Amino acid sequence: MNRPLSKQLLNARFFLLLMIILFLTPTFFPSSAWLFSFATPLLNLNTIFLSILIEALPFVLIGVLIAGFIQIFITEQHIQKCIPKNKFLAIIMSCVIGALFPACECGIVPIVRRLVSKGVPIHSAMGFMLTGPLINPIVIISTYMAFGNDLKIAGLRMILGFIIAIIVALLISMLFTGTQFKKGIRTNHAQHGTAKLSFFKKSSNMVNHSIDEFFDMGKYLIIGAFLAAFVQTFVSTKTLVDIGDHFTSSMLVMMLLAYILSLCSEADAFIGASFSSIFPTPSILAFLIFGPMIDFKNTIMMLGVFRLKFVLSVLTIVFLVIFFIIWLIAPFL
Amino acid sequence: MKFHLQQAVKAVILCAFSVMIFNLHATGEITKLINPKYEMLSKTVAIIFLVLFVAQLKRIFSFSNHRNHNELCGCCAHSLVNPPFNWERILSYLILVVPLFTGFTLPTKFLDASIAQKKGATIMMTNQSQATKKDEVASRNEDGLLEDHPIDPKLLEEKQEMSKKEYDLLKQQLAQNPIVEMTNYIFSVYYEDINNNLSQYQGKKIRLSGFVLKETDLLENQFVISRFLITHCVADASIIGFLTEMPEAASLQEDSWIEAEGTIDIGYYNGVELPIIRIEQWKNIQEPAEPYIYPIDILISM
């Protein structure tokens, strides 16, 4: 297997050269003026694409670091001890943990993947995934501010979101068992003596896992961010809004918007608020609850881990439950 | 000693992400992407990438007489040290390289009128004027105390965060000013207040700058003088702007920047009452260095 030393050195040199080039790239095109002739839409697309990435990266990195931590430090025994045997209790618990856990929808998929591979039942994991990005202090405050310092929308968003997450998780528990991982994604069945390793060694392993996790999830994040940026650059909100003149159609339009815009749950309240005069409150609520639970970017990331059939089912269930619940309570709003 | 190409590729990519983000900060391009409030967060990301890069370095070489660490780490779920370098993997690395490539080579730009139209600028405008008016009326009656007071200089010390009380005070004091001077810092405060208390601002002089946005359903002599409000990153930008009227509107280029002075009046658009500015003086200006405006965060004391 050992290649001649000269070849290895060549590889190493190539690697170094590549790094130097990368470092120098900015100085090659100090003004990039020659590229300004590029079509404006493309530059708009690129700007939005990069901005979504820059915005999402902190949360993704936190997500992969937590995933790495779970992988190395949490054993299956821990999880089996913590999660109640009763399905309903397990779901409630996971939804509460999700609500307490300040996550963003882009960082949560790697965490969910690790949890499931460590033996967390799929319905609990989904409960956690649905409440994590939706219910947290930053989202509450931004929603409160965006709607003219009114607690009603922020409160409804949290309470309804919590109830909806529980219902969705219950439905998933009836329909699906097992990990629902797609082929090629393995779960770890045993821990061969991790306990023997020193804390330092474990931490170093955790970082390695986080790096691999980043490379596993990064590509889906990038595809998702690109598609969301594409929609923002080329699809007009106005045409969508023109469709939604009835109550139900306006709800559908707002949910579709929430899905394709893939906004961060901490910022979507302001966009939601900007529609509050053209659409009734229930439609705005549907936008605010659907977006953080599942969106375009998130779906692509989930497809990187779970089976297509499972992802589509979760998407459909979340959509239907939100639609139905909000339709039910609409007369009281 | 053995060289692992794939681990090296990963190291290069991690390093490149870090360099790209640092580079965006160094060139100031970052202000075209996110609200400056989040700059620290994004710098932290660059540092984390750098740390991950350093951690990755030691995986590039392994000593063949040693068993590689993955067998010791106790988990079979993870990739082997040297998984086959097949097309699928090459593709996934290529995807990761895309933002690096565009980030290094393509210039970022400030959003323009075409994006504003996609986002439905006029929709956002009409809604603002209908937003909650109820509590404003009440608070306005207490203003008597503040009459003729000059603006407290402390309030204009461009703080990006303030308590609700300070914010209300700032709003009240701004409302006392004889001329509405829409500077970047207080643009959103004024915008909200004018839309909520239109009748109190009617007839007041206003001075503002923004880019020209035209919509097909506007009259010949109308356009929207608009700005982007960035909450977090440019992907969540919303448009705030005023419907504006002046005879020579037709000659204005869309996307060009103007500085204008005029009077606030009540107008209608699609049957919705909203502020309209009748322009008296205007001139073309260069796009400012900071074309975006950012909301002021209100700290909630529970």
Chain A residues closer than 8 Å to B229 by CB: 270
Picking from B16, B74, B109, the nearest residue to A44 by CB comes out as B109
Tokens of B82: 């040297």
Task: Output the pLDDT for position A66.
Answer: 87
- Tell me whether residue A54 is in a domain: yes
Distances (CA, A) of A46 to A228, B54, B239: 11, 29, 20
* Confidence (pLDDT) at A310: 94
A284 three-class SS? helix
Beta-carbon separation of B42 and A52 below 8 A? no
- Do residues A47 and B30 touch, judged by C-beta distance below 8 A? no
Residue B3: phi and psi, rounded to 5, are: -100, 130
Least confident piece of the model among A49-58, B9-18, B115-124:
B115-124
Report in angstroms the alpha-carbon separations of A281 from A156, A267, A318, B169, B175: 11, 18, 19, 30, 30
Mutation for testing the A interface, residue in B3, B27, B97, B126 having most A CBs under 10 Å = B3
For the segment B4-11, the average pLDDT, to the nearest whole number, is: 89
- The predicted structure's pLDDT at residue B77: 41
8 A C-beta contact, residue B20 and residue A23: no
The mean pLDDT value for B104-115 works out to: 83
- The reported pLDDT for the residue numbered A122 is 92
Confidence (pLDDT) at B78 = 44
Q: Is A330 on the interface with B (CB under 8 A)?
A: no
**Confidence (pLDDT) at A199:** 81
Is A17 near chain B, with CB under 8 Å?
no
Lowest-confidence segment of A126-135, B24-33, B110-119 by average pLDDT: B110-119
Over residues B266-295, the pLDDT tens digits come to 888 777 788 889 988 888 898 888 889 888
Question: What sign for the dihedral angle of Cα B206, B209, B211, B212?
Answer: positive
* pLDDT of B29 above 80: yes
What's the domain count of chain A?
A: 1
pLDDT at B72 (0 to 100): 45
Helix axes B164-176, B187-196, angle to 10 degrees: 70
B262, B244 contact by CB (below 8 A): yes
Res A105: pLDDT: 76
Residues in contact with A3: Cβ distance below 8 Å, sequence separation at least 6, in sequence order: none
The answer as to whether A288 is a domain residue is yes
| CB nearest to A71's CB, from B16, B75, B297 | B75
Strands (E), B81-198: 161-163, 179-181
- Phi and psi based region of residue B255 (left: phi greater than 0; alpha: psi -120 to 50; beta: remaining): left
Say if the Cβ atoms of B108 and A47 lie within 8 Å: yes
User: Which of B300 and B166 is assigned the larger pLDDT?
Assistant: B166
State the pLDDT at residue A180. Answer: 84
Average pLDDT, whole number, for chain B? 78
**How far does the CA of residue A104 sit from the closest CA of chain B (Å)?**
13
Asked if residue A59 belongs to a domain, the reply is: yes
Partner residue facing A51 (CB), from B105, B119, B233: B233
- Give the span between the Cα atoms of A272 and B253, in whole angstroms: 31
Separation of alpha carbons A110 and A105, rounded Å: 10
The residue assigned the tokens 């219950």 is A170
Encoded tokens for B299: 């700290």
**Arithmetic mean of pLDDT, B68-86:** 50
What does DSSP say about strands B2-3 and B61-62: parallel, antiparallel, or unpaired?
antiparallel
**pLDDT on residue B137:** 39
DSSP labels, B176-213: H-SEEE--TTTHHHHHHHHHHSHHHHTT-EEEEEEEEE
The pLDDT value given to residue B87 = 79
3-state helix, strand, coil in chain B (%, to 5): 45, 25, 30
- Range with the lowest mean pLDDT among A19-28, B56-65, B166-175? A19-28
Using CA atoms, how far apart are residues A169 and A173, in angstroms rounded to an integer?
A: 6
| pLDDT at site B159 | 65
Paired tokens of A63: 């997500």
At A262, phi and psi to the nearest 5? 50, 50
Give the pLDDT score at B125.
64
| Long-range own/partner contacts, residues A227-230 (CB < 8 A, 24 or more apart) | A227/A262, A227/A296, A227/A297, A227/A300, A228/A52, A228/A260, A228/A261, A228/A262, A228/A295, A228/A296, A228/A297, A228/B235, A229/A45, A229/A46, A229/A48, A229/A49, A229/A52, A229/B235, A230/A45
A96: Cα within 13 Å, side-chain hemisphere: 7
Please determine, for residue B249, whether its predicted confidence score (pLDDT) is greater than 90: no
Which positions in chain A touch B27 (Cβ < 8 Å)? Answer: 26
Per-residue pLDDT tens for B123-170?
666 655 554 443 443 343 344 334 444 445 555 556 667 777 777 888
Say how far apart CA B257 and CA B287 lie, in whole Å: 6
User: Measuring CA to CA, which residue among A50, A237, A116 is closest to residue B215?
Assistant: A237
Q: How far apart are CA A214 and CA A178, in angstroms?
A: 25
pTM, 2 dp: 0.77
- Which portions of chain A are predicted below pLDDT 70? 1-16, 18-38, 148-149, 186-196, 244-245, 277
Who wins on pLDDT, A27 or B113? Answer: B113
ipTM of the complex: 0.82
Q: pLDDT tens across B189-245, in order?
A: 888 888 888 888 888 889 899 999 887 778 888 888 889 888 778 887 888 888 888
Q: Which domain holds residue A146?
A: 40-184+199-332
- How far away is chain B from the Cα of A315, in angstroms, using its nearest Cα? 23
What number of CA atoms fall less than 13 Å from residue A149's CA on the CB side?
A: 15
pLDDT of residue A63: 84
CB A182 within 8 A of CB A311: no
